[in-house]
């Protein structure tokens, strides 16, 4: 079961301005899977990600029933995607959420 904030008709939290370029990029992609390097994400945002984004998979968490999405997670969730990091390879896979 999807958390309340992900269900159709639920009021969604806004995407913070600093993450809007990532949201727009992901929202404009037709592919079900988009793989970006962390450097590509930083290029899209026009600034470096926090150190935790490079070290902690939890920074890329999608949120759950008990934990609403972080400000950065809103950028991919509002684009209908989940994020799965591979920090060793320095990539993040954004996959389209199933209905």
All structural domains of the chain with their residue ranges: 15-96
Give the DSSP H/E element, type plus range, for residue 36. strand 33-37
Q: What global pTM score does this model have?
A: 0.85
Burial class (CB in 10 A: 0-12, 13-18, 19+), 20: middle
SS3 95: strand
In which residue ranges of the chain is pLDDT below 70? Answer: 1-12, 99
């Amino acid at each position: 079961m999807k958390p309340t904030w992900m269900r159709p008709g639920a009021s969604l939290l806004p995407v913070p301005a600093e993450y809007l370029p990532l949201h727009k990029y992901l929202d404009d992609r037709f592919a079900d899977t988009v793989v970006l390097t962390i450097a590509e994400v930083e290029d899209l945002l026009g600034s470096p990600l926090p150190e935790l984004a490079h070290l902690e998979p939890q920074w890329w968490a999608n949120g759950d029933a008990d934990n609403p999405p972080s400000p950065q997670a809103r950028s991919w969730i509002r684009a209908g995607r989940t994020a799965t990091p591979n920090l060793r390879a320095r990539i993040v896979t954004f996959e389209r959420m199933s209905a």
